[in-house]
Amino acid sequence: MKVINILFCLFLIMLNGCNADDTNTQQTTKIRKKRDLSKEESKEEKPKSKEELLREKLTGDQKKQLDWLKDALGDDGEFNKFLGYDESKIKEALEHIKSELDSCTGNNADQQKTTFKEVVKGALGDGIDNFKTSASSTCQVQKAQ
């Protein structure tokens, strides 16, 4: 009988030890859930800028022209104002810039492109609606002479 009592006591002690681990496991699970939630919150993507959203929709050449235009405008405020225009008008303006820059060849190409930067800066000051007519390079004029 003594042996059975001792075994029964050991069994109860082991059983009690198992219950203690269960509560610890539940607490650990809660802590892990909280930690995982905080990681998910930090993984949330930052909202993309207007420039990033536009770049996703542009072709390779248009992206090059956008970089050129950003350099030409220099001032972030002017460039951000440009990004606020309608997407189709922006693409049209970038295509116009590309065609004008492609026509700048020869000995004075760099000087002509620099002059065109200033013309573009001035033309965008008046808005994008008349950009094609107000922003033309002197490259084609000099080719004709």
Q: pLDDT tens digits for 68-113?
A: 888 887 766 777 887 888 888 888 888 888 888 788 777 777 787 7
pLDDT at 37: 63
* Residue in the structure block whose two tokens are 């536009």: 54
How far apart CA 9 and CA 98 sit, in angstroms, is 89
In the chain, the amino acid numbered 92 is: E
For 98, counting Cβ atoms within 10 Å of its Cβ (0-12 exposed, 13-18 middle, 19+ buried), the class is middle
Contacts of 123 (CB under 8 A, 6+ apart): 130, 131, 134, 135
pLDDT at 144: 45
Q: 0.75 exceeded by the pTM? A: no
pLDDT digits (tens, 9 = 90+) for 16-53: 766 555 555 666 676 766 666 665 555 566 777 777 88
Phi and psi of 38, rounded to 5°? -65, -35
pLDDT at 121: 80
| The two three-digit tokens of residue 95, written as one number | 């295509």
